[in-house]
Chains A and B, each alone.
Chain A
Amino acid sequence: MGTATLEPTSIKKGFKSEEYFINMGPQHPATHGVLRLLLTIDGEIIKKVDPDLGYIHRSIEKMCESNSYQQIVHLTDRLDYLSSHINNEAVCLCVENALELEVPERVKVIRTILGELTRIASHTLWWGVMGMDVGAFSSYFYGFRDREMINDIFEETCGARLTMNYNIPGGLMQDIHPNFVKRVKEFIPHFRSKLPEYDRLLTGNIIFQKRTKGVGVLSKEDAINFGASGPVARASGYSCDVRKYHPYSALDKINFTEALDTTGDSFARYKVRIAEMWESLAIIEQLIDNIPEGDHKVATNAVIKLPKGEFYQKVETARGEFGVYIISTGTKNPYRVKFRSPGLSNLSLLNHIAVGGKIGDLVATMATIDIVVPDIDR
């Protein structure tokens, strides 16, 4: 270049820079549902992210107060619909613990297998959408191809592909389909061979890495402070897996490694979810050959009345710690039900980690926080 030098400051002088607001959502593909983010930006730099919630609030907690305990189960898979099976399990466990009801070993093992399959299905969908959010369209089809196999297994055994309703207080709605074990055993080697493909397609991609490395960094202290859970928290080095610390169903007999990372950026959250899929496969493999014989449920009264008191059950969904808090006065309806959703706490830290970044970074960060809006708007 020539000797003439440009002085950037002199160019800038004539322009006035000021903050302004833009809406991201509620109809924006990167917000994964009806979530409106009110962004305060200066140029392309984000100054503040203010989520505006409630577009699909159905007041499920209020509805629970006039429903029986069997009916409540059916409302929970409308929360985080990608973890529907695990949400159902949480309510059933809470009711069973309150009634001091011991379910058969067979039920526990089947519940755990289905829970891990749900986690893989949720993570494959997340992986596909994650790629799409940062501009890689093919990953969507790869993710859906493998999720389809799990959905077929669910369809055969549970009769549904998304909202399972397979768990009932006392056990399972019906016994597993005769093909279940065979199908799951076909799926494990299939997915083992496909997971490295995910890495080749997206993880190692230089554009993808530049979009996610060092973006949306969350420290361990902040993760705990904001009540983060699931892969979001574990990517910051915060060991919080409910399956490890408060094991439920058959998880107390299982050996698995909690997926952890210490970087805390979007890429770390991505890697943790990939590692979780490997771990889920390992958990299923430990159980699938050892499903005990026995009944698929124990009889409960047609009208379930919980004793007077309060009951809490926490489980690990694909998004983090899901909690069911039931206050009972001894009648057939709960007095108060609260669902602790992982999404609301995980969303609350978005402002903290997105400020200072660009709008494109916000999309990558939101993709790795992996929110499901019905889980936030309960």
Chain B
Amino acid sequence: MTNEALQQTILSWFPDPEFLQPQFTEEGSQYLIVNVEAEQLHELMQLLKSNPETKFDYLFNLTGVDYGKELGVVYHLESTVHRHILVVKVQADDRENPIFDTVQDLWATANYHEREVYDFFGIKFRNHPNLKRLFLTEDWEGFPLRKDYVDETNMVVK
């Protein structure tokens, strides 16, 4: 499916203009990006995976990003049937308690990747069955991949 067709299909799932709409962009990226609000994330992901036209059954990358003010998660999806690729982005303004719905019920691979994001960015995932640190020890303070993280002993500042 081409990017335009993908965009039309996804928009047709959210017909109510009063409700929040997913925002599309292709600027500065080789893939189509869809920005979605946190409350719509799980619904959109479910549709993307189950709809036979889109059939995004392969989550090949899940990245946590610190945008400075907001914290976000980027999902890279591919369909093994249609071989099209879509990037889904979600952001949270709340740096103290950022939380999104887990997608590990849709893609089992998200289990470890979400734990990694929690470990390094402190982003929580609602309904995750085993949300604990993946690499660092349980008593580690702070979230190292955040831009405002400071560790005077372990970090070499250039």
Interface residues of A, Cβ cutoff 8 Å to B: 53-54, 57, 59, 61-62, 66, 97, 222, 224-227, 229, 238, 240, 245, 307-312, 314, 321, 323, 325, 327, 336, 338, 340, 344-345, 347-349, 352, 377
Residue of B nearest to A221 (CB): B57
**Of A323, A327, A349, the contact of B60 (CB 8 Å cutoff):** A323
Chain B hits for A336, CB < 8 A:
63, 65-66
Structural contact, B58 and A325, CB atoms closer than 8 A = no
Q: How far does the alpha carbon of A245 sit from the alpha carbon of B80 in the complex, in Å?
A: 10
Structural contact, B60 and A227, CB atoms closer than 8 A = yes
Is residue B3 contacting chain A, with contact meaning CB distance below 8 A?
no
One of B15-23, B36-44, B107-115 at the interface: B107-115
Chain A hits for B144, CB < 8 A:
59, 62
Structural contact, B63 and A57, CB atoms closer than 8 A = no
Structural contact, B60 and A321, CB atoms closer than 8 A = yes
Q: How far does the alpha carbon of A74 sit from the alpha carbon of B53 in the complex, in Å?
A: 41
For the complex formed, measure the closest distance between the CB of A345 and the CB atoms of chain B, giving whole angstroms.
5
Most buried by A among B28, B83, B145: B28
For the complex formed, measure the closest distance between the CB of B35 and the CB atoms of chain A, giving whole angstroms.
13
**Of B29, B80, B83, B134, the contact of A309 (CB 8 Å cutoff):** B29
Q: How far does the alpha carbon of A7 sit from the alpha carbon of B28 in the complex, in Å?
A: 73
Q: How far does the alpha carbon of A87 sit from the alpha carbon of B58 in the complex, in Å?
A: 22
Structural contact, A309 and B109, CB atoms closer than 8 A = no
Chain A hits for B59, CB < 8 A:
227
**Of A308, A310, A314, A348, the contact of B111 (CB 8 Å cutoff):** A348
Looking at chain B's contact residues, the main secondary structure is loop
Structural contact, A312 and B76, CB atoms closer than 8 A = yes
For the complex formed, measure the closest distance between the CB of B74 and the CB atoms of chain A, giving whole angstroms.
8
For the complex formed, measure the closest distance between the CB of A50 and the CB atoms of chain B, giving whole angstroms.
9
Size bracket of the B interface? 20 to 34
Chain A hits for B107, CB < 8 A:
225, 227
Chain B hits for A225, CB < 8 A:
57, 107-109
Is residue B14 contacting chain A, with contact meaning CB distance below 8 A?
no
Structural contact, A53 and B61, CB atoms closer than 8 A = no
Chain A hits for B83, CB < 8 A:
245
For the complex formed, measure the closest distance between the CB of A343 and the CB atoms of chain B, giving whole angstroms.
11
Structural contact, B61 and A323, CB atoms closer than 8 A = yes
Residue of A nearest to B137 (CB): A54
Q: How far does the alpha carbon of A66 sit from the alpha carbon of B157 in the complex, in Å?
A: 9
7 A-B pairs (CB sep. < 8 Å) = A62-B144, A222-B108, A238-B80, A245-B83, A336-B63, A338-B63, A348-B109
For the complex formed, measure the closest distance between the CB of B98 and the CB atoms of chain A, giving whole angstroms.
16
Most buried by B among A227, A325, A338, A340: A227
Q: How far does the alpha carbon of A348 sit from the alpha carbon of B130 in the complex, in Å?
A: 13
Structural contact, B135 and A54, CB atoms closer than 8 A = yes
Chain A hits for B112, CB < 8 A:
344-345, 347-348
Chain B hits for A377, CB < 8 A:
135
Chain B hits for A338, CB < 8 A:
61, 63
For the complex formed, measure the closest distance between the CB of B45 and the CB atoms of chain A, giving whole angstroms.
14
Give residues 30-84 of B contacting A (CB, 8 Å): 30-31, 57-61, 63, 65-66, 74, 76, 80, 83
Give residues 102-158 of B contacting A (CB, 8 Å): 107-109, 111-113, 116, 134-137, 144-145, 158
Q: How far does the alpha carbon of A57 sit from the alpha carbon of B83 in the complex, in Å?
A: 33
Chain A hits for B29, CB < 8 A:
309-311
Chain B hits for A59, CB < 8 A:
144-145
Chain A hits for B30, CB < 8 A:
97, 311-312
Structural contact, B109 and A66, CB atoms closer than 8 A = no
For the complex formed, measure the closest distance between the CB of B151 and the CB atoms of chain A, giving whole angstroms.
10
Q: How far does the alpha carbon of A225 sit from the alpha carbon of B58 in the complex, in Å?
A: 7
15 new A-B contacts at CB < 8 Å, known A61-B145, A336-B65: A57-B136, A222-B108, A225-B107, A229-B60, A238-B80, A310-B28, A311-B29, A321-B60, A325-B63, A340-B76, A344-B112, A344-B116, A345-B109, A348-B108, A349-B108
**Of B31, B58, B135, the contact of A227 (CB 8 Å cutoff):** B58
Residue of B nearest to A240 (CB): B80
Residue of B nearest to A222 (CB): B108
Structural contact, A224 and B80, CB atoms closer than 8 A = yes
Residue of B nearest to A333 (CB): B158
For the complex formed, measure the closest distance between the CB of A291 and the CB atoms of chain B, giving whole angstroms.
29
Chain A hits for B96, CB < 8 A:
none
Residue of B nearest to A242 (CB): B60
For the complex formed, measure the closest distance between the CB of A273 and the CB atoms of chain B, giving whole angstroms.
21
